[in-house]
Structure 1
Amino acid sequence: MSYPQTIQIFLPSGDPQGIRIAAITTRILQVFEVPRVQLNTFLALPEAEYVGVYVLFGSNEETGNDCAYIGQSGKIGSRLKQHNEKKDFWDRALIAISLTKSMTVTHAHFLEWIAIQQANIAARFELENGKDERKPHTPAPMEAECREIFDTFDILLTTLGFPLFKPLLDNTSSAAADLTTSMTQQSPVPASPSGINLFLKGGGVDASARYTEEGVVVRKGSYGRRLPTNTFAKTIQNKKREKMIEEGVLRIDHDKLFFEKDLLFRSPSTAAIYVFGRSANGWTEWKNLHGETLSKIMGRDLKE
């Protein structure tokens, strides 16, 4: 359940691209975002000696995909120093520590485990971790504490721009996401935490998607046209489409192109283009169950 919260982000150097420290003002967890180039600055801080959980973020040099590595340590600075010497892919570290120094190694082991599980479920990043899924032994009261700490860690990472634990689609709330109320001059855009369910059907395609705060997420199982138009075949977007086929994100089945996972596109038109294999105006192509275009739902068709 979501509810209003106050999050404080402190810039120790005054540089918003430098080290940032985030915290929910009523909780004890604090998250440091540390650019790799400023790792030594963090290592000189007292917090580098704390027990903590961390995530290294970067990209796969071969695929260009976003990557992450989740870990924990009884002395967080020493472990990060080792990763600086041995791991190449990362450029930022997100480090969670307790303001009251109440986090123990037992807490950290459980938090590492639950973080890896949730990151695998969300499938936002390629995890550099191994496949060890053994749940560490943790007393029930401590496990309850860890789950509350993890919720805070999740919120702070997402606030800082790293939604590691957030699935692209919250399928548990799918039924509530069909915003079928039309826009009129008197009524505002209907609000929903789940987004707007959208569809493309006919002409060799059958795709469903959700318009969210991040863009349009085309659902796994949707299919579009395999063969692009001659004009689209010459574009950079088609080259990216072909790369997705090579990576197995899109699968060819005769004249159809199936989406093998939920895929996020930043604009409605880009999502429609990848489905159709041609130029498209996603604002008018995507429609809800009642045939209303996304443009109409969002009030873009209104006249002054």
Structure 2
Amino acid sequence: MSVSQEFGRTIQLFLVDGSPNGLMVVSLHGWTGSLLVSRQSRFDRLLQRPEMEKTGVYILYGQDPDNPLKMRAYIGEADSLKDRLPSSARDRGFWETAVAITTSDDALTKGHVQYLEARLIEMAASAARATLENSKYPSPDKRRLPEADKANMEAFLANLKTVLPVVGIDFLKQATAQEVPQKAEPDGSGNSILPQASFEIRHRSGVQARAIEEEGEFIVLKGSQALRNTGYVQLSYKELKDDLILQGILKEIAEDRFEFATSFAFKSPSAAAAVVLDRNTNGRTTWKVEGRKLTYHDWQSLDHASSSKEAAE
């Protein structure tokens, strides 16, 4: 029998224009919160929505023009989203997506949205996944809300953390791990929790890299090495590798290799392996479970089979 059980949640995406790239209204079953998501090309239509007359918070989100490896975000609040959002958008040219956040029952007050703004800025700064455009970082502690209201707003934020990544806004997720636990630890009930699986590449050149998988990202850990100047011309991830060098994530330590100065989250095992080996490769077979000959692909197949068995029991 499985020790814990995860429950699914239902998120409704309403495509106002009938297009996945158009205006979108997003809601979570059982939650009064509502998100309106718009690209720049649909911004005028966003402003025409009746929800924009309400009190709420908003996010402007796009590629950081100063760092191609990061996104940039601006977080604000307004008594009327329709009155405040246009000027914020006009003053910030980086944004590609605008998100307006309010409720279907007009439950948010000025105090609520000020608290949400402060907490969102605090959470985004802590996660360090996006560059914040905000010049001021208001303290949530100075937003004087009754205890019950604060609890309600924290629940509101928990739902936001579930919904925002679905529409491509993942800047609240905590930054990548720096190390992997090596031993099983007790869970408080006499059972042992298995350590997080870690993967490695050991190249004949002596270059070694370690990685873990966390929340859909493949994270190469600080201290891992990567080959350089191998002469392979068909490296699909050359631009990504150049950006990693430019941003100081890959530091030159020898004529033939770099070292990861900090952990970095890749979108796939193949992207990570390509940067490490300086050539295109199938990361699902190149990465091995640390200390074993089991490939990432084989490990994943075994892990899924084990999960299915536990669910059946």
Q: Counterpart of 2:288 in 1: which secondary structure? A: coil
Output the amino acid matched with 2:12: Q
The counterpart of 1:6, out of the listed 10, 16, 22, is 10
Conserved 8 A contact 2:79-2:110: yes
Structure 1 residues 257 and 296: alpha-carbon distance in aligned structure 2, compared to 1, 3 A threshold: same
Give the match for residue 273 of structure 1.
274
Output the amino acid matched with 1:165: L
Structure 1 residues 82 and 63: alpha-carbon distance in aligned structure 2, compared to 1, 3 A threshold: same
C-alpha displacement of 1:279: 4.5
Structure 1 residues 252 and 134: alpha-carbon distance in aligned structure 2, compared to 1, 3 A threshold: farther
Give the match for residue 143 of structure 2.
137
Q: Judge which range, 210-219 or 263-272, deviates more.
A: 210-219
Output the amino acid matched with 1:246: L
CA distance in 2, matches of 1:87, 1:9: 27
Q: Counterpart of 1:211 in 2: which secondary structure? A: strand
For residues 27-176 of structure 1, the aligned pairs below 5 Å read 27-64=31-68, 65-130=70-135, 132=137, 134-135=139-140, 136-139=142-145, 140-167=147-174, 169=176, 175=181
Give the match for residue 246 of structure 1.
246
Structure 1 residues 158 and 237: alpha-carbon distance in aligned structure 2, compared to 1, 3 A threshold: closer
**Matched residues, percent identical?**
24
| Stretches of structure 1 lacking an aligned partner (at least 5 in a row) | 179-193
Output the amino acid matched with 2:206: G
1:232-256 CA deviation, whole Å, 9 max, x = no partner? Answer: 5x74634532332122222223455
Q: Counterpart of 2:31 in 1: which secondary structure? A: coil
CA distance in 1, matches of 2:104, 2:196: 36
Output the amino acid matched with 1:130: S
Q: Counterpart of 1:298 in 2: which secondary structure? A: helix
C-alpha displacement of 1:149: 0.6
Q: Judge which range, 67-76 or 280-289, deviates more.
A: 280-289
CA distance in 2, matches of 1:177, 1:168: 23
Q: Judge which range, 199-208 or 157-166, deviates more.
A: 199-208
Output the amino acid matched with 1:197: S
CA distance in 1, matches of 2:67, 2:216: 22
Structure 1 residues 17 and 268: alpha-carbon distance in aligned structure 2, compared to 1, 3 A threshold: same
What's the Cα RMSD here? 3.0
| Stretches of structure 2 lacking an aligned partner (at least 5 in a row) | 185-194, 303-313
CA distance in 2, matches of 1:261, 1:80: 36
CA distance in 2, matches of 1:112, 1:11: 26
Q: Judge which range, 68-77 or 203-212, deviates more.
A: 203-212
Q: Counterpart of 1:109 in 2: which secondary structure? A: helix
Q: Counterpart of 1:97 in 2: which secondary structure? A: strand
CA distance in 2, matches of 1:125, 1:249: 16
Give the match for residue 260 of structure 2.
259
Output the amino acid matched with 2:143: H
Structure 1 residues 131 and 176: alpha-carbon distance in aligned structure 2, compared to 1, 3 A threshold: farther
CA distance in 1, matches of 2:43, 2:50: 13
Output the amino acid matched with 1:210: I
For residues 203-218 of structure 1, the aligned pairs below 5 Å read 203-212=205-214, 214-218=216-220
Give the match for residue 237 of structure 2.
237
Structure 1 residues 101 and 170: alpha-carbon distance in aligned structure 2, compared to 1, 3 A threshold: farther
Output the amino acid matched with 1:24: L
C-alpha displacement of 1:89: 1.1
Q: Counterpart of 1:90 in 2: which secondary structure? A: coil
C-alpha displacement of 1:230: 2.1
